[in-house]
Structure 1
Amino acid sequence: MTSHYFENALVKLHYYKFGNGPQSMLCFHGYGMHGKQFLLLEPALGSKYTFFGFDLFFHKETKLTDQSLEAVKARITKKQFAALIEEFCAYEHIDRFSVIGYSMGTHYVTAVVEELGSRVDEYIVAAPSSIYPGKLIEFFSKYKLGNKLLEKLVLSEKALINMLNLCKWLGFIDDVGRNILYKEIDTPELRFNLYASFIYLRLFETDEAQLIKTLTEYNIRSIFIFGKRDKMYPPSIGKAFFAKFKQAEIVILDEHHELINKNFVSALSGLLL
């Protein structure tokens, strides 16, 4: 594995390269994770793929050129993000590629497929919040009242902890989800990153009709992976979507939300090899 940077007017993007296969796989991690989240795939799939694991916006070493509150509120569009990916691919001499994302990362991969579907071979999403992010995330990211409330909350560690406990009590998240988020709010910088991660991607809402049209038109292999015991994004969130998109390959693992593990690798490599 090697560490790299790609820089343009928008961002200094940090990423890892691992594997040495002829096919390219762009990797988009979950909230609070980093570009090495899919490194587990290298032993099984590294001879088929070269993986590019990004540190996503407001995570680890990736930094926006302007990371002010005003810039975060200005947000980024899918087309702007697609342009960034096109620049990156030109820099790395990538023509066609596959994409894989987990949880928050599925919003990134879905935006890429919607905008650049003619270049995509495989679309792999695990704990796909892009299908249905949930009422809590929609409230904080899409609506002005939610935006303002979250902005106030990030100024107070105690308030955020109380909010997490309330969300757990209401059943919006389980113990696993609560603990993941709790680890991400213990400093002012991390609280800002939490806010920014909700707000910056507001315009990444999945266009379901466009996604299905693109997947179908370009015959993109589509794999959806769920954790049977995942209370945040259980298999049931895909019921309406899969009724419209029959070509989906659906995998349900006996896992909680944190499902990027050996079972995940075994199931995915069994499909891809």
Structure 2
Amino acid sequence: MVQETVIFQNSVIQYYRIGNGPKLLVALHGYGENGQSFSFLEKGLGTHYTILAIDLPFHGGTIWQEGLHFTVSDLWNIIFTITTGYAYPFILVGYSMGGRMALQLLQYFPEHIQQLILIAPDGLHHNKWHYLSTQTRVGNRLFKWVMQHPQPLFICMDASCKLGFFNKSVSNFAHYYLDDALARKQLYERWTTLRKFMPNHNILKQNIQKHHIPIQLIFGKFDRVITPKYGYQFKKGIEPWVSIHIIEAGHQLLKEKNAALIATAISK
């Protein structure tokens, strides 16, 4: 694995080159992670694939200087720059938050994508809280205020959990990212910066059928954050192109023990 950087406008984008095979695979990581999260795939795929795993804005070693603004065109220009010299189309992999971004790329650039691998992906369902906090001006201002003054949120969240309105594992997940002031600041910056990534399912399904793009969906059986049901809902109407795999695990699927299954899905 080799760590590299590329200049994009005023920013420095860090990415990892994993493996040295002839087939190109672009990987987009999840929230709070970085491109190095895909390093466990090198052993199984490194001789047949070159994996380019990007550190997204406000993540990893990327130094993002474009404010709270990032579009699908920006992401595509970065990918185009780091993939110079490789043959298209390429395989696209997205995990969690990166899954939402991968879906947006498929919506706009389907002719360049050979296959899409989505691992516990965001973007297959519409989260009303995410929409409110990133797609409306009032909601975004409220989101910023709550990240600076989180105590009322904690009280409401814990009370809802006790009353059974809120899943305990989701509450624990939220506390993990909200208990620290820096983590809350990063959450606001990251969610707001990536607000333009809102994939349209109807267009996606049209693209999948028109361009004959196979989709591999991988979920954790015990994932309470992004459940397999979203995959089955998305599959409706495009059944021949979508395969669903369920792993005996939770949301954290980028682990060595899952390497063989993920590698098999990619190699199909």
Q: Does residue 112 of structure 2 align to residue 119 of structure 1?
A: yes
Please report the TM-score for the alignment, with normalisation by the length of structure 2: 0.87
Q: Does residue 199 of structure 2 align to residue 206 of structure 1?
A: yes
Q: Does residue 82 of structure 2 align to residue 88 of structure 1?
A: yes
Residues 226 and 253 in structure 1, CA contact (< 8 A), matched pair in contact too: yes
After superposition, the Cα gap between the structure-2 partners of 1:106 and 1:195, relative to the gap in structure 1 and judged at 3 Å, is: same
> What residue in structure 2 maps to residue 19 of structure 1?
19
Q: Does residue 235 of structure 2 align to residue 242 of structure 1?
A: yes
Residues 174 and 232 in structure 1, CA contact (< 8 A), matched pair in contact too: no
- Residue deviations 1:219-239, cap 9 Å, x none? 222101111111111111233
- Residue deviations 1:167-219, cap 9 Å, x none? 756665653x5555544446544322210221122221011122122222222
- Residue deviations 1:33-65, cap 9 Å, x none? 111111111111111111111111111211222
After superposition, the Cα gap between the structure-2 partners of 1:9 and 1:129, relative to the gap in structure 1 and judged at 3 Å, is: same
> What residue in structure 2 maps to residue 233 of structure 1?
226
Residues 59 and 193 in structure 1, CA contact (< 8 A), matched pair in contact too: no
> What residue in structure 2 maps to residue 266 of structure 1?
260
Q: Which of the residues 110, 121, 129 maps onto 1:128?
A: 121
Q: How many residues align?
A: 265
Please report the TM-score for the alignment, with normalisation by the length of structure 1: 0.86
> What residue in structure 1 maps to residue 189 of structure 2?
196
Given residue 41 of structure 1, which amino acid in structure 2 is its aligned partner?
Answer: L
Residues 82 and 115 in structure 1, CA contact (< 8 A), matched pair in contact too: no
Any idea what SS the aligned residue of 1:154 has? helix
Given residue 231 of structure 1, which amino acid in structure 2 is its aligned partner?
Answer: R
Q: Between the two proteins, what is the percent identity of the paired residues?
A: 24
Residues 28 and 109 in structure 1, CA contact (< 8 A), matched pair in contact too: yes
Q: Distance in 2 between matches of 1:121 and 1:56?
A: 22
Mind listing any 5+ residue stretches in structure 2 that lack a counterpart? none
Given residue 145 of structure 2, which amino acid in structure 1 is its aligned partner?
Answer: K
CA RMSD of aligned residues (A): 2.4
Q: Point out the more displaced range, 2-11 or 26-35.
A: 2-11
> What residue in structure 1 maps to residue 7 of structure 2?
7
> What residue in structure 1 maps to residue 62 of structure 2?
62
After superposition, the Cα gap between the structure-2 partners of 1:163 and 1:258, relative to the gap in structure 1 and judged at 3 Å, is: farther
Mind listing any 5+ residue stretches in structure 1 that lack a counterpart? none
